[in-house]
Amino acid sequence: MTGRSPIATRLAVTALVLACGPTGPSGADAQGIHRTEHHAFTVDTVVTGLENPWGMAFLPEGDASGAILVTERPGRLRLVRSAPGGGWTLDPQPVSGVPEVWARGQGGLLDVVLHPEFATNRLVYLSYSKPGDGGEATTAVIRGRLEGSALVDVEEILEASAWRRGGAHFGSRMAFDRDGYLYVTIGDRGQMEAAQDRSNHQGVTLRLHDDGRVPDDNPFVGQSGIRPEIWTYGNRSPQGLAVHPETGELWQTEHGPQGGDELNRLRAGANYGWPVITYGIGYDDSVITDETEREGMEQPVHHWVPSIATSGLAIYDGDAFPAWRGDAFVGGLRGLVLARVDLEGDRAVGWEPMLQSWQRIRDVRVGPEGYLYLLIDDGEAPMVRLVPVD
């Protein structure tokens, strides 16, 4: 009998279980209502016609520039405006001032966030794949002031030390914490061993001042051979990032290989293990490592085997779905699922798959009215939102 690693066996068994479907209803009924463990909702279309949207940011209520900024991976920043009498429209004219992006593979225009004081300084931050010489690219971040439908006074605040050929694992989610620090995720760029090498920015989360300077209290400041911007390392392809609205802690989703997607609570200076430990295997069924844990390396709060291909992350804090407050919502790409993870403090006590076998969900955000907004990864994609049913 041919031997099989414990991880490979666990992947096969769990894949069979997941293929049989979850308990409880997850699809819509004849009235278009989705009924889940705690809430029922409909899926409403906000706008259509987006090309591979990646990130979104809600402008302050009443802002004259529009309602929602949306990035499209080919390199466009779009405005979804409130329509007179209700509803929304997608402005046909992209926002100008966006830098040239390297739109290949997983690269392109990626995340968008607003400065915490956007209402007064109008600063918008974009992460993207920056082209270099000889076919190389890296992750970079710019900021600029939004004036009408234009970004002006654009400046680069980060060029990651992650130059590589190929279009794999750029990251790149961003988030501001309560103290105004900017966090940026960078993937391992397809070179998994580099995620344990802190002399580069591959497989890390970075912590910066809002202008790109390095905070003096970053965990590796002053240590020889280590990049001072690094906040965490040992991450494979972190594509979701959120600040917990109650605790202020930083949470992250990590897109694993075949199996081994993770939901992590980030701690300063912590090593999240990739590729020394993982619950996944290679895409060719090869064993990356037989270790799923090691002293000095963080365990995920929750992991998925098989992979759902985790992407965007939101931690719910609205009023529209009160039983979901404090839960994490994770977009699944390959898994075609919206995952709700039931969090109790720093523990995951279960998860519920929603919208199964539906669409590749790239980003998840909580809207100002408490509805959940989703971006779909497709060449002709909608933005949708989950609306509660009484």
Cα 49 from chain centroid? 21
Is 302 in the active site?
Answer: no
> How many whole angstroms separate alpha carbon 316 and alpha carbon 324?
6
pTM as predicted: 0.92
199 pLDDT tier (thresholds 50, 70, 90):
very high
Nearest-CA neighbor of 205 among 179, 223, 218, 186? Answer: 186
| Per-residue pLDDT, 21 | 37
**Strands, sheet with 40-50, edge to edge from the N-terminal-most edge strand:** 34-35, 40-50, 381-388, 372-376, 361-366
| Per-residue pLDDT, 17 | 35
Q: pLDDT for 88-105, tens place per residue?
A: 999 999 999 999 999 999
Q: pLDDT for 306-343, tens place per residue?
A: 999 999 999 999 999 999 999 999 999 988 999 999 99
Q: What is the DSSP letter of 100?
A: P
Half-sphere exposure at residue 267, Cβ-oriented, CA atoms within 13 angstroms: 10
Q: Which fold has domain 6-388?
A: Neuraminidase (2.120.10)
Higher-pLDDT residue of 137, 172: 137
Catalytic one among 34, 115, 169, 255? 169
Nearest-CA neighbor of 170 among 195, 203, 193? Answer: 203
Cβ count within 10 A of residue 33: 13
Rounded (10°) CA dihedral 341, 314, 267, 180:
-160
Residue reference for tokens 């391992």:
188
> How many whole angstroms separate alpha carbon 325 and alpha carbon 374?
18
Q: Span 232-261, mean pLDDT?
A: 96
List beta partners, residue 261. Answer: 304
Looking at residue 295, its amino acid is E
> How many whole angstroms separate alpha carbon 258 and alpha carbon 276?
15
Are 347 and 357 a contacting pair, CB within 8 Å? no
Upstream peptide bond of 353 is cis (omega within 30 degrees of 0): no
Higher-pLDDT residue of 74, 86: 74
Q: Span 179-188, mean pLDDT?
A: 98
> How many whole angstroms separate alpha carbon 129 and alpha carbon 157?
14
